[in-house]
Structure 1
């Protein structure tokens, strides 16, 4: 085998073994104040492909990121970061994921993640959450509905 053929074979093998590296990582900040008021995730809605990751960054102290029971795909185990911990979470299962800051959930510190092709169900939209969180989720749902209607 010529040197050129060896190099081509090595590059081909490398390309095939690094395919998962194409997964994207989105950064989400946990803030005391942002574009949508106080106690927010920015952005508060992201769309991912299965296998993409979200890195939850500490913009201000005393926040964490955690999945909300009843607002994740049925077989998802969930996650809960520690206070002031920057964590990176992989989202492999298509569906919607409700995310909260545990200490500020009642203050409406929530966000929504869509993975792959998924439809918002009425049950998901009506999941039980505190009042301010309900208002923020309803605003996100309205933006999703508007974008869908514009297509």
Structure 2
């Protein structure tokens, strides 16, 4: 879901819920425009080599079916600077973690991606 506020904390705004998804190769993921003014787009440099990027329209649902194992970083373009970001882990494969961690981000996106990646490294996300 693409939300204006976190389901459990209204003070946390512009979020993907859940922020980290674990799926198998070929599983379909539906991004629902639950609240207005959001989209989902893969972040350049944060998807596995050979994977298909995506860029959904604002306020429209989107289905993504990743087939290449690895970590996929994604953003909401209108709220990227404000930290609306998420991760998909396909096939429990963290082999592109070093590449994903090298990508630079503006504003709160940097802080939020760091927190999500730390969760992955600790095995809590």
TM-score in terms of structure 1 length: 0.74
Structure 1 SS opposite 2:13: strand
Segments of 5+ residues of structure 1 without an aligned counterpart are 1-28
2:15–2:84 CA contact under 8 A, matched in 1: yes
Matched, 1:136 2:112: yes
User: Which residue among 9, 17, 29 is the counterpart of 1:54?
Assistant: 29
* Structure 2: segments with no counterpart, 5+ residues: none
Distance 1:117 1:126 in 2: 20
Displaced runs of 4+ in structure 1, greater than 4 A?
none
Instruction: Tell me how far 1:53 sits from its aligned partner.
Output: 1.1
Give the CA deviation at 1:98.
0.5
Q: Distance in 1 between matches of 2:97 and 2:71?
A: 9
TM-score if structure 2 supplies the norm length?
0.89
- 2:78 is the counterpart of 1:106: no
Summarize the alignment of residues 1-150 of structure 1 with structure 2, pairs less than 5 Å apart: 29-34=1-6, 35=8, 37-119=12-94, 120-147=96-123
| Cα offset, 1:129, TM superposition | 1.3
Shift of 1:121: 2.7
Partner of 1:16: none
2:109 is paired with a residue whose SS is helix
CA RMSD across the alignment = 1.5
More helix by share: 1
- Structure 2: how far apart are the matches of 1:117 and 1:46? 10
If you compute each CA radius of gyration, which structure gives the higher value, 1 or 2? Answer: 1
